[in-house]
Structures are given as structure tokens and as C-alpha cells.
Amino acid sequence: MFGRDPIFCIDQIIDPSISNSMISNDISEFKQKLVTSIRTAWEAAAEANKHAQLKAKEQYDKLLRNPTITVGDRVLLRNYAGKVGTSKKFHMPWKGIFRAVKIEGPHVTITSCNSPSAAPRVVHINQLKKCFEELPPACTSPKLSPEEEKCLYEAGLGGNETQDFTNNNEIEKVRNTVEREKSPELEEIPPQKQKRYNLRVNPKPRRLSIE
């Protein structure tokens, strides 16, 4: 403490001259001893702190699991923010769906899957959890839409270039649609409306009449 060893009452009882050893009339000598003692105390404290950190790391690494997150995986981010005035138990523990794009040691760079134009974020790997949610259906369709088929028919593709037109009924349907649009004098057949049945339950039950 203060760069010198503490002097207790028992020390003065055993050796009364110990209190007089610190008294010095030379200010420069006292300053030199004080600075040297404080520097030695700092080095000893730093060495003890480093040793304690290594011990704590050794115990922590025993319970540490190897990260299973790799580049390209979809992950969830730990949600530490909550709404004001609400209970913590109603907060979602994880938020968003992100994709890991870069891993540097314990730090992972993630981007949002919902808004890819957003700026990437660098977070600790302990704040991430691998996402196993099923992907939504693909945006592309395996079959051509009627508009695309009509465009291909109007372009006059034939032979091997029209591999998608394997169904003659679909070809005939597209041909009729194009001819109907080109000749407005033809009467358009109104679509048949599906017959609906009244399935509403009568709220008033029938009264039983005995005559």
C-alpha cells in the first residue's frame, strides 16, 4: 500500500526502531525509494493478475464447445434489447435471420437475409446461434407462366427451341388466347360462376307444434 510495507502494532512492539527507519531527511532519497517501491508493487500486481487470468481461462475452456458456425450458415443473433415497460420473459431471446460471411477468430461478420443492402455487422461468436429453420419456397417456378408462354408463341419459336411446349393442350390454349386478343369481334365466353350453397345454420330452431 502506497509503495511501502505496512507497519502493524505488533511490529512496533517487537522492534520499536522499525518506525524510525522510514524517517529520512534527504528528500531525493525518499522519493527514489518510494518510486522504486511503487514500481515493484505494480510489476508484482501485474504478474499476479496475469496468472489469475490464465487460471480463469483454463477453467472456462473446459466448458467451451467448439463453434459449429461456418461461412455461409444462417444464424440467429442474441436479442439483448427489450421494449420499455414490458417484462423480460415476453422478449424473444433471438432475433432476425442473418448469414455469416466472414469469421476471424471469435468475431463473425454477418449480414441480414431480409435486407441484404443493410450494412454488415461484426459480433462475437457467442452471441450467435445456428438457424435450422426450413427455407421458404423458391421464388422461381418450374413451369412457364401464361404470359411467358404467350410471348414465346408470338415470337414464333418452333422446332427444338420450344422444348417447354410438350403439352399440346397448353399450346392450343395459348394459341386461342392470342387469336382472341387479336380479333376483338369474337364474343368472349363469360366464365362460369361456381354455384354456392347456403350453408349458414339457422340461429332460430324450429318450434315443435303439436295439433
CATH for 100: 2.30.30
pTM (2 decimals)?
0.40
pLDDT tens-digit series, residues 176-190: 776 666 555 545 556
Domain extent, residue 33, equals: 9-62
In degrees and rounded to multiples of 5, residue 42 shows phi and psi of: -65, -45
53 and 94 fall within a common domain: no
Q: How many domains does the chain have?
A: 3
pLDDT tens-digit series, residues 119-155: 888 988 888 988 887 766 555 445 555 665 665 565 5
Q: Is residue 22 part of a domain?
A: yes
CA–CA distance from 187 to each of 179, 182, 192 (Å)? 12, 12, 15
Q: Is residue 154 part of a domain?
A: yes
Residue 167 and residue 209: Cα distance in Å, rounded?
63
78 and 125 fall within a common domain: yes
